[in-house]
Amino acid sequence: MDNLTSVFAQVRSQFPALNQKVHGKDLVYLDSAATALKPQSVIDRITKLYSYETSNVHRGAHYLGDVATVAFENARTRVAEFLKASSTDEIIFVRGTTEGINLVAQSWGSTNLQKGDVILITEMEHHGNIVPWQMIAEQMGAEVQAVAILDNGELDLEDLKKKLSSKVKMVAFTACSNVLGTVNNAKEITKLAHAVGAKTLVDAAQIVSQEPVDVQDIDCDFLVFSAHKIFGPFGFGVVYGKRSLLEKMPPYQGGGSMIAKVTIEKTTYNDIPHRFEAGTPHVEGAVGLHAAIDFVTQIGFKQIHEFEMQLLKSATDKLLQIPDVKIFGTAPHKGPLISFNLKGAHHSDVGQILDREGVAVRAGHHCAQPLMARLGVPGTVRASFSVYNNENDIQTFIKAVAKAREMLL
């Protein structure tokens, strides 16, 4: 056993969800692009909070209130370090990537967009990075346009350059497609956008568990991600925003915590980032994300990337040996996922057969219907790999796909 295999065998042992059977078969979890499984360290940290540290933050005049507040704000510091942000003031806690994009669209968009302005997205976006921009565009009289993709799933940079103009105020794009696996060059796209005076928002939901993210190096104006994609809890996410922009943005929601002073006649708002965090926050989400970031950084992104690319290559090579398989997304720089169909078979039928074999995949449009229209299919089967998978998982997956072909074609 080589060193990398040994390291990730130990990593795999930290995920209790894998110690179960599905339909009498050992679980093979290949749906990490939808949500990552949770390591014991994250589960234990959340359990500790609920067992011994339960208290509301920023409020309690007692010991437990102080403990919870320190843990909550320590998580903000950890996230700022993780993203290489210049200040914790640039880190806003939200419910996830979707809420984060809605926050930016409404708060930044309502004060910066005018009739005739253009918001650029791409054909590979998740609905979470499409619908919020359509909503604010309709409110402000702006227009949403999409940058095309090439047949191999890469972003068409020539089309991006063609569509960029002084009318473009925002370029919102995914760092890694949840369907194609395509990894976009966020730094290059941001540089092109800034050249025409546009701001950028990076949907980093898929990329944060794969490789380091440095918001200062990218120079993006906003970046969003969800904790559950990086081995953390559900219902929690992060918005990074440049301080100079956040300070000029109005609150997205009103209520407790986001205020400085309230009278019946008028409210003055809190400083950033707290003015964007109305109400009781998701404290267990924050401490769980802190533990998840610690988990990832202890393994190291270099090892994670090398291991996941080994899994991707093995699965891709073996899948292509099965007749009638068509893979969507063959960009040279890909994340660890494969979208495919069996020609002549419905993706849902394939997914159900794989499930009966204990293999968990996603089958459907993956919240990316415009991309499905571009690909000319109603949906695909998606297998996505992570740090807890291994070559045995790949073998089981391939056998299950071969069985699906025998049954359906």
In the three-class reduction of DSSP (H, G, I as helix; E, B as strand; rest coil), residue 77 is classed as: helix
Concatenate the DSSP letters of all residues of 361-373 into one string.
Answer: -EEE-TT-HHHHH
How many CB atoms within 10 Å of residue 328?
24
Contacts of 198 (CB under 8 A, 6+ apart): 120, 164, 168, 169, 170, 171
Omega before 39 within 30 of 0, i.e. cis: no
Unique residue bearing structure tokens 């346009």? 145
Largest CA distance in the chain: 71
The count of C-alpha atoms lying within 13 angstroms of the C-alpha of 361, restricted to the half-sphere facing its C-beta, is 34
Structure tokens at 371: 């991309």
Q: Which amino acid is at 40?
A: Q
Concatenate the DSSP letters of all residues of 270-325 into one string.
Answer: PPTTGGG--SS--HHHHHHHHHHHHHHHHH-HHHHHHHHHHHHHHHHHHHTTSTTE
Q: What is the rounded distance in angstroms from the CA atom of residue 361 to the CA atom of residue 215? A: 31
Q: Closest Cα to residue 174, out of 368, 341, 376?
A: 368
Q: What is the rounded distance in angstroms from the CA atom of residue 16 to the CA atom of residue 164? A: 48
List the catalytic residues. Answer: 367
Query: Helix and strand tally (H, E) in the chain?
Result: 15, 17
Q: Closest Cα to residue 142, out of 176, 123, 161, 119?
A: 119
Structure tokens at 383: 């297998």
